[in-house]
Amino acid sequence: MNRHDALQGFYMALFADDKEKARSFASSTYSYLGRDFDKQWDILAKEKAKGRYTDPKVEVLQFGQFFQVLLNGSLLDEEVFTFGIDNRLQGTASEIDCFGKLIFDNYQPARQLAIRVHKGESIKEVLLNGKALQCSQADTFADDGFNFCMFALKSDNFNTKEANVVIETNLRFSVQPVLLRGLDHVANSYKHPRLIKNGKGLKLNNDPLAIHRIEIETYGGKLLTQRYPTVEELVLPDIIKKVFVMAEGTAFNYLYSF
């Protein structure tokens, strides 16, 4: 069994509701960002419970030292995984959930580092390739410890890159690899929405269920927020001013102003 087979077997067993088979692909010391097998199984089961995957297909790719797990073409997992005897999955090399993503503002990309520390932890300092970053807590994810840091790279072509990050919290000091997702990233497949109905409607160019959250603000002050919209077109009473989209399985954010 090679490492790709171990990861693919683990996730396929999840979607077959076969916990013991999934356990057979993992070592007895399995730890995913500090979570043991049973706790991580429960978290992954929530993804399955969305009911979108009647015919799940798992694909495992690799970018440098990072393994990328795709579920029906949507990014499900992306980590530096470690393996033990017979390539059984040991878990992740990192202790803290951290990844780089792109923020699109009117189709122009900017870089952001997303960090989820464990409950009871707070960030004291973050260094990316030796440079200190200023981090803030995102209101929408305040309860689970999500933080974000905006940053820029010199002569950036906004493609995917590997880097190193140092995260100091009130409880630990973690040095770990991080993948800065870019325009060429396998999950950057979201198609930009477009205005319709004289600016009062929005055409969603992807499968609507691929949108995790969408927020729309109109010039008349109306605000619409939906999670997993089930329609291809959204129509509002006023002309649309701003649109914010979090696309499922991409880990990118999209912001549009009209």
**For position 114, which CATH number holds?**
2.60.40
Range of the domain at 236: 194-257
pLDDT digits (tens, 9 = 90+) for 86-109: 999 999 999 999 999 888 877 788
| Secondary structure (3-state) at 19 | helix
Domain count, the chain: 3
CA distances from 41 to 31, 36, 38, 116, 190 (A): 11, 9, 5, 19, 28
| Any domain includes 176 | yes
| Any domain includes 188 | no
The per-residue pLDDT for 51 is 59
Domain boundary at 92, 121, 143, which? 92
Domain shared by 85 and 118, yes or no: no
| Any domain includes 186 | no
Q: What does pTM read for this prediction?
A: 0.85
The per-residue pLDDT for 140 is 46
Calpha distance 242→1 (Å, rounded): 49
Domain shared by 78 and 30, yes or no: yes
Domain boundary at 158, 180, 202, which? 180
> Sign (positive/negative) of CA torsion 231, 237, 240, 244?
negative
The per-residue pLDDT for 199 is 92
The per-residue pLDDT for 247 is 77
For 100, phi then psi, to 5°, come to -100, 140
The per-residue pLDDT for 53 is 60
The per-residue pLDDT for 257 is 81
The per-residue pLDDT for 189 is 74
Domain boundary at 180, 208, 243, which? 180
Q: Please state, rounded to an integer, the average pLDDT across all residues of the chain.
A: 86
* Whole-number CA gyration radius for the chain: 19
Domain shared by 163 and 210, yes or no: no
**For position 77, which CATH number holds?**
3.10.450
Given a cut of 70, the residues of the chain with pLDDT beneath it are 47, 49-54, 138-145, 206-209, 249-251
| Any domain includes 170 | yes
The per-residue pLDDT for 137 is 72
pLDDT digits (tens, 9 = 90+) for 144-159: 347 889 899 999 999 9
Calpha distance 239→258 (Å, rounded): 9
CA dihedral of residues 40, 160, 257, 145 (deg, nearest 10): 30
Whose tokens are 């429960």? That residue is 42
Domain shared by 67 and 103, yes or no: no
